[in-house]
């Protein structure tokens, strides 16, 4: 009997163990008392820094290069005109630096090269200096004793083909807030024939005035430096010869520039300068209506564009310009300063080393980020149609944007073509009088 009792006892113990295990299951996962482990926290991505100011720089003695190249990323809503306005660069500048990006739909998260490093043109650093291929204005206010020289720089719109911005030296003869626009007979006729529009003979201050809110009248009759009622047109060849600036930029200049200020306009597609004892080159597209023969006399013309101080320094160092590197940079101009000393440097390396910054208006910028926001797509396309017409190849090898394909500035949408070639260089104008107007054109006005 004892073995049988032993077997029953063992069986009872086994049953009790199973029941206890069942209770454990019922009290455990089945009831959800035990929580799943928490996922690890997402890594904290540090916020990118704000961009450095892009319009005002202190100049050290003999300094040729100002600013720094920057890279940002687009938001879902951004166009290239949005990014350009935010960082105080023009349309052609940002398209030239990003030739593979659709200017109207760049796409969310696309890296955009912001060309905010500039080589100062080869011209006297006095008053206002404008380099038309660079589509940029530089203002050198008089420096007070004991204070460093300062330069302000802003993107500009210039005259389109047939209405070229003159070159040479003049001065500011009059300043006007809330100017009145009086289009010439030739402009009225052009608008009627080309657009079917009847322009009024007088346009007073207000949102319909293409001069914007501020204007500087120059010693060249009918030519002005002024604002605009269409900010997205800054950085295009779309005026009748005048110089257009963003509203915030012309307002800033108007607060500083007096009557009598010297104005120098040069035509330098190749701009040279030293930085950290290295020679740099910033190349731009040759304008279509530049009559100099760049194909046959490129080296000669580029040599003349190298300033006397730079030539003196090269001679002192027993160095020479590498024309192979100049040709390489000039073949595909991006408007980004590249070193052409010691074997040069690649554009890819320069962009990879550029500062990554937040896609926001820089601290201390001239724009508040809200006023005069960019135009809608339809208006912008209309403005693009106002710029350079398609023209055949000129003497200097320049082509219209719709024909040129070797300069790297066309885009998939067709909107980003620069309308200029990229295989030549330039020389500063030595004339002290403006280039004569195109035969058959009447005096031009500020539009």
Query: Hey, which residues are catalytic here?
Result: 226, 242
Say if strands 70-73 and 111-114 run parallel, antiparallel, or are unpaired.
antiparallel
Question: What's the token pair of residue 385?
Answer: 């149609």
Q: Helix %, strand %, coil % for the chain, to 5?
A: 25, 20, 55
Q: Which strands sit side by side in the sheet containing 56-59, from one edge to the other? A: 56-59, 149-155, 136-140, 127-131, 262-266, 168-177, 214-218, 224-226, 243-244
What residues pair up with 71 in beta bridges, in sequence order? 113, 356
Separation between Cα atoms, residue 389 and residue 385, nearest integer Å: 8
Report which secondary-structure segment, H or E, holds 290: none
Residue 249: name the closest of 145, 338, 367 by CA.
367
Reported residue count of the chain is 447
**Chain position carrying tokens 């047109």:** 233
Separation between Cα atoms, residue 340 and residue 24, nearest integer Å: 78
> Exposure of 106 by Cβ count < 10 A (0-12 exposed, 13-18 middle, 19+ buried)?
buried
Q: Which strands sit side by side in the sheet containing 70-73, from one edge to the other? A: 111-114, 70-73, 355-356
Question: What's the token pair of residue 73?
Answer: 């990323």
Please enumerate in sequence order all residues whose Cβ is within 8 A of that of 85, keeping only pairs 6 or more positions apart, or say none.
231, 232, 246, 367, 374
Separation between Cα atoms, residue 115 and residue 338, nearest integer Å: 12
> For residues 97 and 106, is the Cβ–Cβ distance under 8 A?
no
Separation between Cα atoms, residue 248 and residue 263, nearest integer Å: 20
Q: Rounded to 5 degrees, what angle do the CA atoms 289, 290, 291 make?
A: 100
């Amino acid at each position: 009997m004892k073995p049988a009792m032993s077997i029953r006892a063992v069986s009872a113990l086994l049953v009790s163990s199973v029941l206890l295990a069942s209770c454990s299951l019922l009290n455990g996962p089945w009831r959800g008392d035990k929580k799943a482990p928490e996922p690890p926290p997402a890594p904290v991505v540090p916020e990118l820094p704000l961009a450095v100011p892009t319009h005002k720089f202190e100049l050290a003695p003999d300094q040729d290069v100002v600013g720094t190249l920057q890279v940002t990323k687009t938001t879902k809503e951004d166009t290239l005109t949005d990014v350009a306005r935010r960082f105080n660069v023009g349309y052609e500048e940002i398209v030239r630096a990003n030739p593979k990006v659709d200017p109207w739909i760049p796409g969310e998260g696309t890296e955009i090269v912001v060309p905010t490093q500039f080589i100062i043109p080869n011209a006297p650093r006095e008053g206002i200096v404008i380099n038309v291929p660079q589509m940029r204005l530089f203002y050198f206010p008089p420096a007070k004793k004991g204070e460093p020289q300062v330069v302000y720089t802003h993107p500009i719109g210039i005259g389109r083909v047939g209405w070229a911005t003159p070159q040479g030296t003049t001065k500011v003869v009059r300043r006007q807030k809330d100017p009145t626009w009086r289009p010439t007979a030739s402009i009225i006729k052009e608008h009627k024939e080309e657009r079917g529009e009847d322009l009024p003979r007088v346009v007073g201050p207000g949102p319909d005035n293409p001069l914007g809110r501020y204007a500087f009248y120059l010693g060249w009759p009918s030519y002005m430096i002024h604002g605009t009622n269409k900010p997205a047109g800054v950085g295009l060849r779309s005026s009748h010869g005048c110089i257009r600036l963003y509203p915030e930029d012309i307002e800033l200049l108007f607060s500083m520039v007096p009557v009598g200020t010297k104005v120098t306009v040069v035509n330098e597609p190749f701009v040279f300068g030293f930085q950290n004892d290295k020679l740099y080159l910033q190349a731009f597209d040759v304008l279509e209506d530049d009559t100099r023969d760049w194909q046959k006399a490129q080296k000669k013309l580029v040599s003349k564009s190298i300033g006397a101080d730079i030539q003196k320094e090269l001679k002192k160092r027993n160095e020479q310009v590498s024309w192979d590197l100049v040709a390489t940079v000039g073949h595909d101009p991006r408007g980004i300063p590249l070193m052409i000393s010691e074997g040069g440097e690649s554009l890819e390396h320069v962009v990879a080393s550029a500062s990554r910054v937040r896609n926001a208006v820089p601290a201390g910028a001239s724009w508040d980020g809200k006023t005069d926001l960019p135009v809608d797509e339809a208006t912008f396309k209309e403005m693009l149609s106002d710029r350079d017409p398609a023209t055949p190849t000129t003497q200097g090898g320049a082509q219209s944007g719709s024909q040129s394909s070797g300069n790297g500035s066309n885009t998939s949408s067709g909107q980003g073509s620069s309308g200029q070639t990229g295989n030549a260089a330039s020389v500063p104008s030595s004339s002290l009088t403006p280039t004569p107007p195109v035969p058959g054109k009447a005096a031009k006005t500020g539009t």
